[in-house]
Amino acid sequence: MNFFLKFFRILPPELAHRLALDSLNFIHKIGILNLFYKKPELETFSFAGMNFKNRLGTAAGLDKNGDYIDCLGELGFGFLEVGTVTPIQQYGNSKPRVFRNFQDESIINRLGFNNKGVDHLVKNLKSRSYKGIVGVNVGANKKSKGEQRVKDYLYCIEKVYKYADYITVNISSPNTPNLRDLHNMDNLSDLVLSIEDKVKELNIGIPFFLKISPDETNDSIDNIIKTVESSFFQGIIATNTTIDKTNLSNKKFNNIEGGLSGRPLMDRSTETIKAIKIKSDKEIPVIGVGGVMNAADFNKKIDAGSELVQIYTGFVIKGPNILSDILKKDD
């Protein structure tokens, strides 16, 4: 595995990402994955009415289109979250748009919800062999504004809910213009009420989670907590990437636009989890994500109050062996 990691590091980031997952998918399909990788022991866990193989899952963005559900599931993840998906296919922002900073174990991306559209994802969800938990992260197309942006979320929800175990509503990407305005109290309330009406209309019984930004003020966090507590949402996913790059030691990355993930996000995202737990009257369930690079980071998320933990950048930089590192200490 170390050889492949070194090889992929010399390739352009998006090419490396695709080739790595394509290679994983290939060796899975021909039945030799176990020759390269030893699956960690699994320990079941129940949360929000769902039964998980363990507490570690993938964050949205790793498999945007659900093209790699079966091979990622075979690695031993407790759950997978695919997306972010939008109603229609979109290319995303112009390249270059992904920047790997190995010195800080971080990635900056400004992808902009590039994906093949919700119909492609639904096709993959229908045909998957993986029997574990699969969540779907939904968003809005870049060109959608105002009321149409809300309709985009509703459209995706209606398309995927029959084939997903849970749905995440993503209002926190920094790479879609003005998307984070949905954190504002009035905008968030309108979105949540619209989704709640759709849930009642379709009698949707699966859990919903709200994925939030790590860059919110205390007042904004308070408003988000109040909104979630009084709604049908099951919990919060904390957090997405940050636009704050002041703590990077490799200063050449400081002025690159986009969302920062990886080790520099660890403390900020964990503090957001703690704030939600402290301020919530109803002990809102939290799925923690951001900066998990090893078992110690994973345990810090759990200690902060996360019921589940997701990884993305840690998997990209460390490779599949990060699962064994984390799950052998998952108690």
CATH of the domain at 260: 3.20.20.70
What whole-number distance in Å separates Cα of residue 331 and Cα of residue 21? 29
In tens, the pLDDT along 198-214 reads 999 999 999 999 999 99
Domain boundaries, position 203? 2-327
What whole-number distance in Å separates Cα of residue 210 and Cα of residue 192? 9
Which residue of the set 173, 261, 269, 306 is catalytic?
173
Is residue 9 scored above 90 in pLDDT? Answer: no
Identity of residue 248: L
The pLDDT of residue 1 is 54
What whole-number distance in Å separates Cα of residue 244 and Cα of residue 265? 9
CB 331: neighbour CB atoms within 10 A?
A: 7
The domain total for the chain is 1
User: Which of the pair, 4 or 82, is modelled with greater confidence?
Assistant: 82
In tens, the pLDDT along 224-271 reads 999 999 999 999 999 999 999 999 999 899 989 999 999 999 999 999
In tens, the pLDDT along 68-107 reads 999 999 998 999 999 999 999 999 999 999 999 999 999 9
Q: Is 173 annotated in the active site?
A: yes
Is residue 330 scored above 50 in pLDDT? Answer: no
Is residue 331 scored above 50 in pLDDT? Answer: no
What mean pLDDT is reported for the chain? 91
Helix (H, G, I), strand (E, B) or coil at 44: coil
The pLDDT of residue 181 is 81
Q: What is the pTM of this model?
A: 0.93
- Cβ neighbours of residue 30 closer than 8 Å, sequence gap 6 or more: none
